[in-house]
């Protein structure tokens, strides 16, 4: 099962995976600026992709997700972790170019929106969840509210009970 780790940094989740990263000081097998397209990977090569704390650094997220779609096989699993927009981690790193919400992943589904066309690629959202810190009362309340209604939480409670990360599992649809 070929696995791709995009922006793998100094360590990979899976030792036998193919890592791609811009840093020559990384564990990457391929040194590449992910803002340069196309990526030097064959189409339809991977069954699973991991992107942990990389999507928020990219200049063109939609084009990057198009590349993820291109290099994966139909029904491949894509796992993305990124800071939630309400997290202090989203803003403390000056190299972050995007501050995402859980609802941001809807843009990767290929569906048409009221005022614009969706992308030419398609992912199915399998699961989206938020992670929280260690404050038992406040973080548990935020976790409970986000599980009750993620759209309501993001609109009304996120700045009061901030999340840490978004974890999204996507399934490639070709």
Q: Say which CATH class 3-131+165-173 falls into.
A: alpha beta
**Cα–Cα distance for residue pair 112/121, rounded to 1 Å:** 12
**Cα–Cα distance for residue pair 146/163, rounded to 1 Å:** 9
pLDDT digits (tens, 9 = 90+) for 94-115: 999 999 999 999 999 988 777 7
Q: Where are the domains of the chain?
A: 3-131+165-173
| Whether the Cβ atoms of residue 17 and residue 1 lie closer than 8 Å to each other | no
pLDDT digits (tens, 9 = 90+) for 24-46: 999 999 999 999 999 999 999 99
pTM of the model: 0.94
Which regions of the chain are under pLDDT 70?
A: none
**Cα–Cα distance for residue pair 7/36, rounded to 1 Å:** 13
């Amino acid at each position: 099962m070929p696995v791709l780790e995009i922006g793998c940094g100094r360590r990979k989740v899976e030792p036998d995976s193919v890592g791609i990263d811009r840093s020559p000081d990384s564990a990457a097998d391929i040194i590449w600026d992910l803002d340069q397209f196309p990526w030097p990977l064959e189409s339809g090569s991977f069954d699973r992709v991991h992107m942990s704390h990389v999507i928020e650094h990219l200049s063109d997220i939609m084009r990057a997700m198009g590349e993820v779609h291109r290099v994966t096989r139909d029904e491949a699993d894509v796992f993305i972790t990124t800071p939630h927009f309400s997290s202090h981690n989203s803003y403390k790193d000056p190299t972050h170019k995007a501050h995402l919400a859980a609802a941001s992943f809807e843009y990767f589904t290929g569906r048409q929106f009221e005022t614009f066309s969706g992308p030419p690629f398609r992912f199915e959202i399998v699961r989206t969840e938020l992670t929280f810190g260690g404050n038992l009362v406040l973080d548990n309340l935020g976790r409970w509210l986000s599980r009750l209604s993620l759209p309501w939480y993001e609109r009304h409670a996120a700045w009061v009970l901030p999340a840490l990360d978004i974890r999204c599992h996507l399934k490639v649809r070709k």
